[in-house]
Amino acid sequence: MPQATDFYGNGFGSSSTSRELERFVRLLIQGDRVGCRDLIREYLDSLSPGGGDAAGALRDLAWPACATLDALARRDQIGSAEEHSATVLLAQLVQRIECGLAKRPARCKLLVVSTGPRSTEELSGEIFSGLAEADGFDVLYLGGGVESDDLFSQIAARRPSYFVSFAASGPDAPRLRRLITAVRTQDPVPGIRLGVGAGVFERAPGLGEEIGADFEANTPFEMLAELQRLEASQAASRPTKSPRSRAA
């Protein structure tokens, strides 16, 4: 396996977690389905007896593995076939892990999510969508490669509370700029909040603000925290009903 030790364990926890991540990425690139499943099962059991901490597995293994595969591919340290097969395997594992996420009460808020066209970007969006669904949001996940006109049509028809483009490629920035400009000028959904994150927005700080996004974040967990912050802010700003006075 190509060496990419500058990515392993970079902000993802203890050295033991780093070793598990390095092993996990190696198994993904090798296409070892059984080995990957066994590693995740062992890791879940180490986090919580009975394997209940699905969020921990996404945070410490799935997401950093996705970011590592993307970095290795961008540096030509793995081939396109290895990147594709490893990402497909990881996507299958992520969907299994997401089934174990603790569910919160429904927020009755629709979130539309798009991504860049690369397989790792779509997987990043899948991880974020799974976290948002578990947090109570209704999620329409469009994936990558959707043109700005079609995105605008979906926003106008579905009337979501939030739109997020997570992990977009460089060529997607003009597409998102056109979309955000159209949403601002035509206002199909008054009050909608637009967010961007990871991908080109992580590599070019300030780009999200430049194209008119309301918020941005670099990981699925940070993006979810931004949505939670916005929800809490809206709840705090709602006027409280004063109790009616009762006649003596």
pLDDT in tens, 107-154: 999 999 999 888 999 999 999 999 999 999 999 999 998 999 999 999
- What is the pTM assigned to this prediction? 0.86
Residue type, 37: R
Do residues 100 and 52 touch, judged by C-beta distance below 8 A?
Answer: yes
In angstroms, the Cα distances linking 176 to 85, 132, 166 are 29, 21, 11
- Go through the domains of the chain in sequence order and give each one's CATH number: 15-98 (1.10.1240.10), 110-235 (3.40.50.280)
Amino acid 8: pLDDT: 36
